[in-house]
């Protein structure tokens, strides 16, 4: 799962080092876009949930499917009260089930729409990243292939989404647990001849 680390206030990029992907329990990752205060509140709800799950002390722990279901109920019920939590949430994880290691990836948004899919994106990612992912995702990708694919999407979003910034975080979740890598930046490419002198053929054009 990848995100940039920016949080804007209108058109001002107000906070430049914000973690938008967090681990939930032992088996899941949650990533959010939208209102940051609501995301912080959702993390508190998830803390309560995972804590009481742990206190059962029954050898069981909530997996990504269960967390996604819980979040869906929370989001949809708030929507029905006309007081939504203004977020798009991406929930991913791995848990050992009866059929072996079961991977899960899904999303839920502020109006309660939720689904499970092999590739998820929020905001501009729906328009720019999903087409790339639909073309190039396949089963049984390695970690390296997945990172390269996700970085391809992040770069396009950096070029074309006005609110994105060049500081990213990638997180992975496996049966061994969650790893959230430190923030890093990508190189951008500006070397097109047309970029250097766009008005050459037609003075005044752009």
Partner 1 sequence: MDSAFTASSSAVGEAPTSGEHRMGTTIVGVCYNGGVILGADSRTSTGTIRFLLDLHVLWDVLALPWVDSAWGTGNSVADLGMYVANRASDKITSLTDNVYVCRSGSAADTQVISDYVRYFLHQHTIQLGQPATVKVAANLIRLLAYQNKNMLQAGMIVGGWDKYEGGQIFSVPLGGTILKQSFAIGGSGSSYLYALLDHEWRDGMSQEEAEKFVVKAVSLAMARDGASGGVVRTVTINADGVTKNFYPGNKLPLWHEELEPHNSLLDILAGGSPDPMVQ
Q: List contacts with partner 1 (CB under 8 A).
A: 7, 9, 12, 14-15, 18, 35-38, 40-41
Please say which residue, 11 or 205, places its beta carbon nearer to partner 1. 11
Nearer to partner 1, 19 or 117 (CB): 19
Q: 3-state SS string over 32-90?
A: EEECHHHHHHHHHHHHHHHHHHHHCCCCCCCCHHHHHHHHHHHHHHHHHCCCCCCEEEE
**At CA 99, angle to CA 94 and CA 103, rounded to 5?**
20
Tokens representing 71 are: 């979040």
DSSP state of 151: H
Q: Least distance from C-beta 89 to partner 1, angstroms?
A: 16
Q: How far is the CB of 83 from partner 1 (least distance, A)?
A: 9
Residue 31 Cβ vs partner 1, minimum distance, rounded to whole Å: 17
Task: CB nearer to partner 1: give 85 or 153.
Answer: 85
- Contact predicate 73/23, CB 8 Å: no
Q: What Cα–Cα distance (Å) separates residue 127 from each residue in 118, 130, 157, 160?
A: 16, 6, 10, 11
Q: Which CB, 15 or 181, lies closer to partner 1?
A: 15
Residue 32 beta carbon to partner 1: minimum distance, rounded to whole angstroms: 12
């Amino acid at each position: 799962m990848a995100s940039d680390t920016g949080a804007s206030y209108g058109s001002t990029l107000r906070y430049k080092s914000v973690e938008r992907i967090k681990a939930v329990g032992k088996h899941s990752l949650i990533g959010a876009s939208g209102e940051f205060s609501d995301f912080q509140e959702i993390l508190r709800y998830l803390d309560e949930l995972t804590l009481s799950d742990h206190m059962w002390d029954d050898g069981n722990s909530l997996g990504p499917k269960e967390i996604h279901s819980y979040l869906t109920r929370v989001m949809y019920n708030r929507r029905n009260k006309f007081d939504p939590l203004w977020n798009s949430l991406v929930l991913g994880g791995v848990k050992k089930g009866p059929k072996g290691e079961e991977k899960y990836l899904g999303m839920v948004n502020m109006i309660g729409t939720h689904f499970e899919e092999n590739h998820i994106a929020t905001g501009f990612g729906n328009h720019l990243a999903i087409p790339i992912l639909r073309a190039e995702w396949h089963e049984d990708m390695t970690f390296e292939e997945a990172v390269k694919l996700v970085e391809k999407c992040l770069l396009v979003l950096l070029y074309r989404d006005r609110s994105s910034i060049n500081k990213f975080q990638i997180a992975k979740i496996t049966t061994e647990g969650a790893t959230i890598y430190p923030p890093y930046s990508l190189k951008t490419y500006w070397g097109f001849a047309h970029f250097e002198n766009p008005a050459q053929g037609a003075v005044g054009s752009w």
